[in-house]
Chains A and B, each alone.
Chain A
């Protein structure tokens, strides 16, 4: 709760101008707080030269009224101004959650030239898209992204905020959650609503995939999750859908960061503290590495190799079958650790989560950490010499035998049919 210490307040009104949420006004030369509008962002406390404002966080935690939080919000991620697949997966999933709660679904995109993304997000189910365009936001940067998104969250108060569990999403999510003092659940693989309380049930793997845990954030808002790419189903886009688009402007150059939403009759000032923007941190270069052709998340067919391939050269057999099926090559952690194949091919808890139509596991024992990354595949085929290997417990079709005999036969057969 924000308190005004009346004895110290001189009536200078600096705080009134500083407040981004119109939550302060002067009455009889003393600042008065409108508690319905106050988000306890603390900007006024910092601005007051007379220490006449203080935040009493203790009572704010226990007495927080969450009823003014409504809606589901997806923080969409672009790279090179193109939306990442996970963002559309999240909008599709967010639509289901919003329908269940009977609330609106919004999406936020930051970038330099991103107007086209709004239609895509609306086609997948967003009711409202907030765009923040600036050359300085072209590439993800922790400081400015955190400040801007925190401001948008504080202003529009969604009850649920979803981010993709990409490297950037996992950099940004915790930073936002610490700033607004709410909970964040990482790497969710399933989201649902508990009907009784209307709260988000966030399910994720733990202990290297040995255990699934459902996490809730009952008393803090928003409830935040990062969601693993490739897990949620992307809906078919419907371009006849309509939705609102708001462009938000943040002036990232001046010391006093001023910002506003333009193109709408009402101008909403969003004012991050410039000291929190951390514009000093800069990206010197971004290097795309040659192996970007490994696109396991999008592959319909994946042929994966484990220790059973025997030696680094053994992967040629796997690669032949993958190319015969027009699929991609995957690998277990063991062989990536051995250096037999690049990290980009790794499937599993510490690698990629995949759900192709067909997953062929060759010489992979099926440790839990591997299964965590592939067991949602439509059809799993296991080939292993050890009939007791755990991979046979999760497969649809199993062949006990030597992959070096079986895989070449499969390649031959498919080459003939395809």
Chain B
């Protein structure tokens, strides 16, 4: 079974702080991690490989430092890792990202399954997975929290807001996975050392290394553009109720009665 996993290196958004004066994000000192749901995707791919045999290829698009994410993926058991890194990719929105990833996946040859995390914690769009599936003309199952493979068919549990559905489709297919599907393993120290010692464990591809239409890359080709960013604020003064416990409770109830909500 040939499995491709798409991953993204992201800033740990739990660690992001806000510069209140400038109204901007402080990215300095914020650690970069593999997007948490992408780690679940890697784990699921490696588990299927262990069960059915085959090969796991991890692909990421990003700046040169995203190589760290691929080293970690390799150390978790991926066989190959490819970093798509070129100035031409910079500023890609989800459409251009999905195009670039799809072209790279085509270049790697035949595949049976593609795993993606449902969404990345820095963008939360959940768009790249389905867009890759569309570009490759294969079926998709999103929000997957359970996977079963029988011959050339896949049966997946898909999380819904008020329950789940069970969906069957034919391979090749693309699955986006959510938290709870598995518990990702720790990377093997030996494989981390391997990744750094052996050349070519992590390949880096530029626009010259796979077939791409250069007019479909990066910022210029991206249909969406960022128009503005701002830090969310609430435009009123909070009122802190003082007194002993009983007084505070009394004051609160009085306020709520004034507001006519109770």
Please measure, in the bound complex, the distance between the C-alpha atom of A174 and the C-alpha atom of B142, giving whole angstroms.
11
Q: Is A313 in the interface zone, CB < 8 Å from B? A: no
Query: Shortest distance in angstroms between B169's beta carbon and chain A's nearest beta carbon?
Result: 4
The answer to whether A410 and B249 touch across the interface, beta carbons within 8 angstroms, is: yes
What total of A-B pairs shows CB separation below 8 Å?
241
- Whether A207 lies near B25 (C-beta < 8 A) is yes
Are A414's CB and B262's CB within 8 A?
Answer: yes
Chain A 399-415, CB-CB to B under 8 Å as 1, else 0, gives: 11100011001100110
Q: How far is the CB of B145 from chain A (nearest CB, A)?
A: 11
A365: interface (CB < 8 Å): no
User: What per-residue 1/0 map shows which CB atoms of A374-394 lie under 8 Å from chain B?
Assistant: 010011011000010000111
The binding surface of chain B is classed by DSSP as: mixed
Tell me if B230 and A211 are in contact (CB < 8 A).
yes
The reply to whether A183 and B121 contact each other, CB–CB distance below 8 Å, is no
Secondary structure at chain A's binding surface: helix, strand, loop or mixed?
Answer: mixed
In the bound complex, what is the Cα–Cα distance between A205 and B262 (angstroms)?
32
Known contacts A178-B98, A178-B130; A283/B166 CB under 8 A: yes
- Say which residue of A210, A397, A398, A401 sits within 8 Å of B16 (CB atoms): A210
B252 interfacial contact with A, CB 8 Å: yes
Q: Which residues of B contact A208 (CB under 8 A)?
A: 13-14, 16, 121-122, 124
Within 8 A of B (CB), among A165-181: 166-167, 170-171, 173-175, 177-179, 181
Note all chain B residues with C-beta closer than 8 A to A378: 261
Report whether A394 and B238 are in contact in the complex, using a CB–CB cutoff of 8 Å: yes
B241 touches A399 (CB 8 A): yes
A208, A289, A379, A405 pick with most chain B CB within 10 angstroms? A208
Known: A186-B124, A405-B245. A292 touches B224 (CB 8 A): no
Q: How far is the CB of B158 from chain A (nearest CB, A)?
A: 8
Tell me which residues across on chain B come within 8 A of A173, comparing CB atoms: 127, 130
- C-alpha gap A143/B213 in the complex (Å): 26
Contact bitstring A272-315, B, C-beta under 8 A = 1, else 0: 00011010111111111101100000000100000000000000
Beta-carbon contacts under 8 Å, B233-257 to A:
234, 236, 238-241, 245-246, 248-249, 252-253, 255-256
| Residue of B121, B161, B227, B234 touching A216 (CB-CB under 8 A) | B227
Q: Is A76 an interface residue (CB 8 A)?
A: no
Asked whether A103 is an interface residue with its Cβ less than 8 Å from the other chain, the reply is no
Evaluate whether A175 and B130 lie within 8 angstroms (CB atoms) in the complex, with A283-B165, A283-B166, A399-B248 already known: yes
Query: B224 contacts A175, CB within 8 Å?
Result: no
Specify which of B164, B165, B226, B234 is in contact with A213 (CB 8 Å cutoff).
Answer: B226
B95–A183 CB distance below 8 A: yes
Partner of B140, one of A142, A283, A382: A142
User: Is A396 in the interface zone, CB < 8 Å from B?
Assistant: yes
How does the 8 Å CB contact mask read for A39-57 relative to B, with 1 for contact and 0 for none?
A: 0000000000000000001
A25 CB within 8 Å of chain B: no
Q: Which of B95, B166, B229, B245 contacts A401 (CB 8 A)?
A: B245
Interface-facing stretch out of B59-67, B131-139, B186-194: B131-139
Please state if A181 and B215 are interface contacts (CB–CB under 8 Å). Answer: no
- How far, in whole Å, are A349 and B164 apart by their CA atoms in the complex? 21
Q: Which of B130, B245, B262 contacts A171 (CB 8 A)?
A: B130
Top-9 shortest CB links A-B: A183-B223, A208-B13, A183-B224, A178-B134, A186-B125, A174-B127, A174-B130, A178-B131, A281-B169
Given contacts A181-B95, A413-B249, 20 further A-B contacts (CB under 8 A): A142-B140, A170-B127, A171-B142, A177-B127, A186-B94, A187-B124, A206-B229, A211-B25, A211-B232, A214-B227, A284-B166, A291-B162, A350-B124, A358-B256, A369-B13, A387-B240, A397-B255, A400-B240, A405-B245, A406-B245
Q: Can you list 6 A-B contacts with CB-CB less than 8 angstroms, sorted by A residue number? A: A171-B130, A183-B93, A212-B232, A281-B168, A286-B164, A410-B249
